[in-house]
Amino acid sequence: MTHAVLGIDIAKLTFDACLIRPDGSLRHRTRFANSPAGFTELAAWLKKHHVTTTHACLEATSTYADALARDLLERAHRVSVVNPARIHDFGKSRLTRTKTDKADAELIARFCLTQTPPAWTPPLPEITELQGLIRHLETLEAARQQHANQLATATTQIVRDSLTALIRHLEGQVVEVEAAITEHSARHPDLRADVALLVSIPGIGERTAARLLAEIIHLKSYASARQVAAYAGVSPQQRESGTSVRGKTQLSKTGNARVRRAVYLPAVVAKRYNPLIKALCERLAERGKPPMVQIGAAMRKLLHLAYGVLKSRKPFDPNYGRPQQQPHAA
């Protein structure tokens, strides 16, 4: 081992660290503050153990890790931000039974040491702002739906009036944030160009385009469309073993749930109006596949098409890749 590895188990207010030094020895430290003061304290702790650069690994837990990941990058450390499901599966493979913050930090460090996850690249500021707007919009819409459900069962007039006022206020906020998202995309040429490419795909509108760009950060940098589908958790998962296990093929759902929600309704629309996806679903129907399997395939195909237009920088073309018929000689 020639380099140090740092595993970080992060929470909203604090984080724990486990350092594996080049000689293989471990050092633990708990309860750093998840704040600039805590980041400085971590740097001093690493220096105390004669570590100047390290490969640090954190779980992608909400936005709690973003500030620390950026700070580590600025201090010239290599940083990986990984899907928590990968850490969980790694722990199961090691038959890990202890579940404490200290043990989790060590597990993350050992994952980093043995798996060498790819380096994390921070999103551009305009993508970070877009993600914030999109997630705020989702919060507003969820609150509006919650109050609408309460209004449907309210029996007291004062409660109905209060809920109605709240719903109206939230509806106004939704309109404002939707306008802010549109204006934000229009203000940044690269975002505007990406949105235009995505909405050329039948089934994807401006809101879905913005959500994809916000959630699948660096979508164009993925090596393949399959990687994008795997990140979203829409890759098929088979359950077969020997002659006795023949489970149904289903979506893996090991990935970004926000992306799956973002493409579900567009996939329903694309199943009817996108010629490529419509043909795909018709073939699946002919093979006896149920509607939800068809929708899953449509979701996956939509992400493949989104990756394709962004990678090629060409709008959607239903005939792309098909051999051109040569005119008959007279």
> What digits encode the pLDDT tens for the residues 267-301?
999 999 999 999 999 999 999 999 999 999 999 99
pTM: 0.77
Residues sharing a CB contact under 8 Å with residue 186, sequence separation 6 or more, in sequence order: 192
Asked whether the CA dihedral 81, 82, 88, 90 is positive or negative, the reply is: negative
Question: How far are the Cα atoms of 36, 41, 73, 326 from residue 47, in angstroms, in the given order?
Answer: 17, 10, 16, 69
Return the CATH number of the domain spanning residue range 4-115: 3.30.420.40
Dihedral angle over CA of 231, 237, 241, 245, nearest 10: 140
Mean pLDDT, range 40-48, rounded to an integer = 95
Name the token pair of 144: 């509006």
pLDDT tier for residue 324 given thresholds of 50, 70 and 90:
low
**Calpha distance 298→309 (Å, rounded):** 16
* Two domains, one topology: 4-115 and 125-187: no
DSSP, res 296: H
Residues 241-254 pLDDT 10s: 444 434 455 565 66
Q: What is the pLDDT of residues 196-224, one digit of tens each?
A: 999 999 999 999 999 999 887 666 667 78
Give the CATH architecture of domain 125-187: Up-down Bundle (1.20)
pLDDT in tens, 92-116: 888 777 778 889 999 999 999 999 9
Q: Where are the domains of the chain?
A: 4-115, 125-187, 212-312
303: three-class secondary structure by DSSP:
helix
Task: Kindly report the number of other CB atoms within 10 A of residue 146's CB atom.
Answer: 14
User: Which amino acid belongs to residue 250?
Assistant: Q
| % of the chain exceeding 90 in pLDDT | 67
Distances (CA, A) of 174 to 138, 142, 244: 9, 11, 51
Across-strand partners of 81? 58
Q: Looking at residue 224, what is its pLDDT?
A: 82
Average model confidence (pLDDT) across the chain: 88
